[in-house]
């Protein structure tokens, strides 16, 4: 169910970009119980001057390797789950040599009935008969 | 009021991309009562490896022709309206030879006061005098 | 905390694009009290046929110079604050010769605990000890 948008500055290889996506997805699976197959991601590269980030907000030193991750997901996760997600994404990305300072995450929560994974169905909504 | 983001893999013509946008917009008009002129869309093409989708999540067989549609709209629609929207988008896209399995939709709901269509006005908010 | 996505038609210079981002950020700082360093923006250019907008919805005459601004921010701002934000963005952009008719804004509100600005921390959530 999550839709993950990853925005980065140009310079990584296709393999590196794919690895970024995998690292974020594994964290969603491991900390939120997202199904392993429920992976939908848009990875977009930008010129350095089109991805604007502050180099020290909150005392965190960021570089052009910054990874902006915006995840739209169903609402209902607890704060503790969100904390685990942030930590795990950051740990997984560290294995790819992304500095923890360069991991930027935002969650947008939406209703479970707001997803259609194909065939024109409300994939996660209560059974249609129930609304008849 | 909706802002529609359509993300696809490179390969369609400009005319085909425009038709995708029209098909989604007509569904919004016909099922949710969105004004016909209220059309604002960002259609973005990606390399195949930058648009990541699962090829069989929920048993639905997707291909590189997948159309990822994320619609930000005012909250308040019923589940039945959303079901009609998903079905209609999928039907409209079928006329463009997009397989129903390749139609992926997510809704993000926001308040009516969260839109400015120009001139710096809160276009859908209660009249300004009411807040004086 | 805001994540600002600015979508425009190709044609502006890098300096002009950067100025658009600065104008929007200053409005957030001045009207909502967003910290001056809290600036994170993705500015994306599109072919004219990929950024679809209505040329007269609500009687407002738009051109290809339209600036589509989608801001994800923490919820809790009043309608009056939002009005001031819309006005100020539009005023700031007017100094850059963007017509007020060409300024299009949408806000997406999210919880304060939904942000991680680095280091895997929930930057704005209540202190971790409080949840132990």
Question: Helix and strand tally (H, E) in chain C?
Answer: 2, 6
Which pair of structure tokens corresponds to residue B51?
């648009």
Question: Are residues C42 and A54, on separate chains, in Cβ contact within 8 Å?
Answer: no
* C-chain residues near A60 (CB < 8 A): 117-119
The pLDDT value given to residue C126 = 79
Q: What is the ipTM of this complex?
A: 0.95
Judging contacts by C-beta atoms under 8 Å, the chain C residues touching residue A43 are none
Min Cα–Cα distance to chain B from C82, Å: 7
| B7–chain A nearest CA distance, Å | 8
Mean pLDDT score, A92-101: 98
The chains found to touch B (3+ Cβ pairs under 8 angstroms) are A, C
**Active-site positions of B?**
2
**Smallest CA–CA separation between B29 and chain C, in Å?**
14
Q: Please give the CATH number for the structural domain made up of C3-131.
A: 3.30.429.10
d(CA B107, CA A13): 32
Is residue C102 within 8 A of residue B118, CB to CB? The reply is: yes
Across the interface, do B47 and A14 touch by the CB < 8 Å criterion? Answer: yes
pLDDT the model gives residue B72: 98
Cβ contact, residue pair B46, A41, below 8 Å: no
- Confirm whether A2 is a catalytic residue: yes
Alpha-carbon radius of gyration of chain C: 16
How many residues can be counted in chain A? 132
Cα A117 to the center of its chain, rounded Å: 18
Crossing angle for the helix pair C79-94 and C14-32, nearest 10 degrees? Answer: 150
Q: Are C112 and C86 in contact (CB under 8 A)?
A: no
Mean pLDDT value of segment B63-87? 98
Which chain C residues touch B if contact means CB-CB below 8 Å? Answer: 7, 44, 46-47, 49-54, 56-58, 60, 62, 68, 70, 79-80, 82-83, 86-91, 100-109
Confidence of residue A131 (pLDDT cuts 50, 70, 90): very low
Q: Where is average pLDDT lowest: A77-81, A124-128, B48-52, C115-119?
A: A124-128
Distance of CA B15 to the CA centre of its chain: 18
Question: Which residue in A has a C-alpha nearest to residue B87's C-alpha?
Answer: A120
Do C120 and A103 lie within an 8 Å CB cutoff?
Answer: yes
What is the model's pLDDT at position C129? 59
> Can you give the pLDDT of all 132 residues of chain C as single tens digits?
899 999 999 999 999 999 999 999 999 999 999 999 999 999 999 999 999 999 999 999 999 999 999 999 999 999 999 999 999 999 999 999 999 999 999 999 999 999 999 999 999 997 865 444
Residue B50 makes CB contacts below 8 A (sequence gap 6+) with A17, A42, A43, A44, A45
Rounded distance between C-alpha atoms, residue A39 and residue A34, angstroms: 9
Please give the Cα distance from A35 to A43 (Å, whole number). Answer: 20
Residue ranges of domains in chain C: 3-131
Q: Which of B117, B108, B93, B110 is nearest to B5 (CA)?
A: B108
Q: Closest CB to B44: pick one of C49, C50, C90.
A: C50
Residues of C with a Cβ under 8 Å from any A Cβ are: 3, 14, 17-18, 21, 35, 37-45, 72, 108, 110-111, 113-123, 125-126, 128, 131
pLDDT at site C131:
47
Distance from CA of B56 to the nearest CA of C (A): 29
SS3 string of chain A?
Answer: CCEEEEEEEECECHHHHHHHHHHHHHHHHHHHCCCCCCCEEEEEEECHHHEEECCCHHHCCCCCCCEEEEEEEECCCCHHHHHHHHHHHHHHHHCCCCCHHHEEEEEEEECHHHEECCCCCCCCCCCHHHHC
Q: Average pLDDT of B96-117?
A: 98
DSSP string, chain B: --EEEEEEEBTB-HHHHHHHHHHHHHHHHHHH---TT--EEEEEEE-GGGEEE-SSGGG----TT-EEEEEEEES---HHHHHHHHHHHHHHHHTTT--GGGEEEEEEEE-GGGEE-STT--TTSSPGGGG-
pTM over 0.90: yes
């Amino acid at each position: 169910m999550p839709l993950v948008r990853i925005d980065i500055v140009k310079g990584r290889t296709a393999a590196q970009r794919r690895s970024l996506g995998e690292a974020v997805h594994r964290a969603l699976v491991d900390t939120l119980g997202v199904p392993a197959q429920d992976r939908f991601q848009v990875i977009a590269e930008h010129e350095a001057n089109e991805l604007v980030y502050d180099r020290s907000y909150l005392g965190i030193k960021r570089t052009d390797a910054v990874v902006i991750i915006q995840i739209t997901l169903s609402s209902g996760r607890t704060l503790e789950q969100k904390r685990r997600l942030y930590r795990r994404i950051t740990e997984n990305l560290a294995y790819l040599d992304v500095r923890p300072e360069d991991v930027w995450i935002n969650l947008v929560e939406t209703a479970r009935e707001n997803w259609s994974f194909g065939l024109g169905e409300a994939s996660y909504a209560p059974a249609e008969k129930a609304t008849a």
